Amino acid sequence: MKKLGSRRHCYAARVSIFLMMVALIAGMVGCGGGPYNLTITSTAGGSVTASCNTTPPYTNGTVVDLVATPDPGCRFLNWTGDVSTIGNVTAAATNITMNHNYKITANFEYTFMVSAGGYHTVGLKTDGTVVAVGQNLPGQCNVGNWTDITQVTAGLFHTVGVRANGTVVAAGDNYWGQCNVDGWTDVIQVAAGNLHTVGLRSNSIANAVGYNSRSQCVVTGWAHIIQVEAGWYYTVGLNSKGIVVAVGENVAGQCNVAGWTNIAQVSAGGYHTVGLKSNGTVVAVGYNDYGQLDVGGWALIV
């Protein structure tokens, strides 16, 4: 084997070291990454503020603080999109760590200011008090002393309200335990069905009480829920991925929502369920004897 001279050997060694250094620097630059851009949008009902000690575009590992502020009469739901590095997708005040180009959306919804029950109507005033009219035999309209309420919902013969501190109050018929909500805490939304009540906690977990003959109160296994709805004898939940779950009576197919995707809001009727998709179109399942499912041509729904 031919040996290199000492001078040529030193030159080759220097070249090798140089190439190794170039590779090392390139690797370090690749690991650092960036600069990265953060695109933020929001649905109707609120706005977002992003703050950081540096200006965009951001270097790898930069933490950007996010604050979602709902408009009056609205509430923050969650963050969707590229949320893998967001601290808490259900918190209005959180942060995102930049290690890629990200697009995120802050989702808001209008709080329920009026609600129609079986034979009564309930309204939430701007000062957090509640008014009600209609049949009052079991006391479902006895809401005159409620204060600091942020949302109301009316069932067949009962009324439920969420207080600003996350506790829940209820009035009216309690034969099936549908008003047994005294121990609920950290609740952000409630839904009253025929004879049952469903609550959504700030940790995205759902609770339910009341009549359960069709398993409409079996929601303990649900996770990442951002909205709950209560139908006649069934319950529907929307999760942070835009997927819908349902339990309870399914005689008309009102719980056949397993294939729905990209859903932004759900609503439950007596025997049919409606979903609003993020592109403004609408889907529906269940009874259609009066054409209540004929929403296939709807568009630009908000």
Q: Are residues 104 and 124 part of one domain? A: no
Structural domain count of the chain: 3
**42 sits in which H/E element:** strand 38-42
Q: Are residues 89 and 75 part of one domain? A: yes
This prediction has a pTM of: 0.72
The tokens for 93 are 């005040």
Rg (the chain; Cα; Å): 27
The tokens for 155 are 């069932």
The tokens for 193 are 């069905």
Q: What are phi and psi of 135, to 5 degrees?
A: -60, 140
Over residues 286-302, mean pLDDT: 95
- Torsion, Cα 191 196 200 201, to 10 degrees, reads 140
Residue 20 DSSP symbol: H
Q: Which CATH number is 150's domain given?
A: 2.130.10.30
Tell how strand 38-42 and strand 102-110 pair up.
parallel
The tokens for 80 are 């969707």
pLDDT tens sequence across 206-238: 999 999 999 999 999 999 898 999 999 999 999
Among 211, 246, 274, the domain-final residue is 211
What pLDDT sits at residue 31?
A: 44
Between CA 80 and CA 87, with CA 86 as vertex, the angle to 5 degrees is: 130
Please check whether residue 254 lies inside any domain of the structure.
yes
pLDDT tens sequence across 126-185: 889 999 999 999 999 999 999 999 899 999 999 999 998 999 999 999 999 999 999 999
Q: Are residues 131 and 70 part of one domain? A: no
Give the structural domain span for 264: 225-302
| Window from 25-34, 84-93, 99-108, 227-236 with minimum mean pLDDT | 25-34
Please check whether residue 159 lies inside any domain of the structure.
yes
Among 91, 110, 129, the domain-final residue is 110
Over residues 189-199, mean pLDDT: 97
Please check whether residue 23 lies inside any domain of the structure.
no
Residue 30 has pLDDT above 50, yes or no: no
- Mean of the per-residue pLDDT values for the chain? 89
Residue 44 has pLDDT above 80, yes or no: yes
How many angstroms separate the CA atoms of 147 and 72, rounded? Answer: 17
